[in-house]
Amino acid sequence: MRLWLVVALIGVTISPLFIMRLVALDNIEAQLRTRRMNELSNYALILSNQIIRTSYFKGDNRETVHADMSQSASLYNGRILIIDKNYTIVKDTYGTLDGMTSISQETIEAMGGNSIRNYNKDDGMLEMAVPIATEDKSDVLGVILFYASTSDIIKTCDSIGRSYNGITTALVGLCILLSLVIANIFTKPLKRVANSIDRMAEGHFDEEIHLRGFSEIKTISDSFNMMLGKMQKVEDSRQEFVSNVSHELKTPITSIKVLADSLNMQEDVPNEVYKEFMQDIVVEIDRENQIINDLLALVKMDKSAADLNVSMVNVNDMLEMILKRLKPIAAKRNIELVFESFRSVSAECDEVKMTLAFTNLVENGIKYNVAGGWVKVSLDADHKYFYVKVADSGIGIPKEYQDQIFERFYRVDKARSRETGGTGLGLAITRNVILMHNGAIKVLSEEDKGSTFVVRIPIKHMAEAGGIRSEKN
């Protein structure tokens, strides 16, 4: 990128210099030729007037005119010829054509009263034919032919060109230097980003970059740091998940081992004690089995290609069935289950997975409630979504923990959660089910005043999988 940027900058800056050089030198040379031609024209007019005043063609004062002609021809590095009306060359400053006849195209036109001006590029000569006419222009007495070399003009332009080349070379060097500096300024932040990406590939997510310069560069820096933060959070979550899985799976096994060792260390264990220990072992095995089943369910739902068995489901009947199944659990703690439906709702969804999600929400409302409390489930819908609200009168969730409750194995109160038999995976499974249906979930909660989970699901299932999204108020 730096190479192409340097080449582009050099091309943009140097090309105009060469174009200007060509145009400027051609323009200067043209102006100098025009000025020289005007000087020759003025001199020819003066010489014509002098010839007429001195009766040159009658033979008077010719020496004076010839001397002036020779001086002017020498001054302009040229040649002057005077031709009379008979086309006879009266005077040639070179002295080689005196007395000869000149019937050239220029001479004929000038005899007709026309002034001729021409630039012979091949010979590098300015050519001029001026009629020698009376003051009233009624009679043409002869013609002045003036040939002047442009060698001095060419030398002047060459000198200017060399000077311009020197300036251009210096400017080219400066442009190259500035191009390298500018390219380095533009690419240095990108190089730092590339280095940071390489560090990320090695597993380092804790090195933020702070780029200075244009607002776009700062935006890249901020976006990159935000991405680093999210990746660090994902990495921390992954490590915490592995740690939690290890801990959760190890706990029942440890309990089973302690119980089994206790039995092995005792001799002649009474049947009552033996049965009690075996019952505890069965409970721990069931707990281990529940954790493994929840983990498998969560892994299946994490797959982007997870299949949904979509069908048209009566959401009212589904929610009433969930509350019916959980009613015995609620009755043990004297918790009232209430279902409120504003309209009959049918939607395209996976009934099994959706039942699991709402069961987890209602079951959590029962588990983390107070004795004699209530759990209220309400259903509503519009033309596009159906909405399920699960509210309880329980212990609530502190505000600082509400962002984390959907994470795997996360518990606000670990001791209380284990007492209620939770695995810490219920809300993570619920969120994944909702996201698989392109829905959203948010929580509204206040400590010691209960919690409300609000779920929004499209009535018509969309084929593409929804991205991970949770909402919090």
Check pLDDT > 70 for residue 300.
no
> Is the domain of 359 the same as that of 456?
yes
Q: Note down the domain range covering 262.
A: 215-299
Would you say residue 170 lies in a domain?
no
145: alpha, beta or left, given left = phi > 0 and alpha = psi -120 to 50?
beta
Residues 6+ apart with CB under 8 A from 376: 338, 339, 340, 389, 390, 391, 392
- With residue 346 as reference, give the H or E element that holds it: strand 346-350
Which two tokens mark 438?
């392109």
CATH of the domain at 346: 3.30.565.10
Looking at the structure, tell me whether residues 31 and 101 fall in a common domain: yes
**What are 466's two structure tokens?**
């929804």
126 in the same domain as 42: yes
The answer to the question of residue 311 being in a domain is yes
Whether 385 shows a pLDDT value over 90: the answer reads yes
Q: Within this chain, do residues 113 and 228 fall inside the same structural domain, yes or no? A: no
pLDDT one-digit tens code per residue, 121-152: 888 889 999 999 887 777 888 999 999 988 88
Residue 331 tokens, joined: 């009755």
Kindly tell me if the per-residue pLDDT of 420 is higher than 60: no
Which are the contacts of 197, defined by CB distance < 8 A and separation ≥ 6? none
Is 184 domain-assigned?
A: no
| DSSP one-letter code for 399 | G
Residues 225 and 372 placed together within one structural domain of the fold: no
Contacts of 461 (CB under 8 A, 6+ apart): 308, 310, 347, 348, 349, 437, 438
Task: Report the distance separating Cα 129 and Cα 23, nearest Å.
Answer: 30
Same domain as 404, residue 329: yes
Asked whether residue 138 falls in the same domain as residue 242, the answer is no
Q: Tell whether 194 is covered by a domain.
A: no
Asked whether the CA dihedral 47, 52, 58, 59 is positive or negative, the reply is: negative
- In a domain, residue 408? The reply is yes
Domain at 107, CATH number: 3.30.450.20
439-462 pLDDT per residue, tens: 999 999 888 888 999 999 999 987
Check pLDDT > 90 for residue 336: yes
Domain count, the chain: 3
Q: Are residues 284 and 315 in the same domain?
A: no
Domain assignment present for residue 161? The answer is no
Q: In this structure, what CATH number is given to the domain that contains residue 269? A: 1.10.287.130
Question: Is pLDDT above 60 for 421?
Answer: no
In this model, does residue 176 exceed pLDDT 90? no
**Mean pLDDT, all residues of the chain:** 80
Q: Which amino acid is at 392?
A: D
pLDDT tier at 337 (50, 70, 90 boundaries)? very high
In this structure, are 358 and 459 located in the same domain? Answer: yes
Better pLDDT: 146 or 236 = 146
Name the band, by pLDDT with cuts 50, 70 and 90, for residue 390.
Answer: very high
Residue 472 confidence class, pLDDT cut points 50, 70, 90:
very low
pLDDT band at 467 (very low <50, low <70, confident <90, very high): very low
Tell me the average pLDDT across 280-294: 75
416 and 341 share a domain?
A: yes
Kindly state whether residue 173 falls inside one of the protein's structural domains.
Answer: no
Domain boundary among 299, 319, 347: 299
Q: How confident is the model at residue 416 (pLDDT cuts 50, 70, 90)?
A: very low
Residue 306 has pLDDT above 60, yes or no: no
Q: How many residues does the chain have?
A: 473
Strands, E, within 192-303: which ranges?
A: none
Same domain, 293 and 347: no
Q: Between helices 215-265 and 151-201, what is the axis angle to 10°?
A: 20
Cβ-contact 151, 124 below 8 angstroms: yes
Cβ atoms within 10 Å, residue 300: 13
What's the CA gap between 133 and 213, in Å, rounded? 76
Show Cβ contacts of residue 11 under 8 Å, excluding neighbours closer than 6 positions.
Answer: none
Boundary (domain end) residue, out of 139, 156, 173 = 156
Domain end: 274, 299, 324, which one? Answer: 299
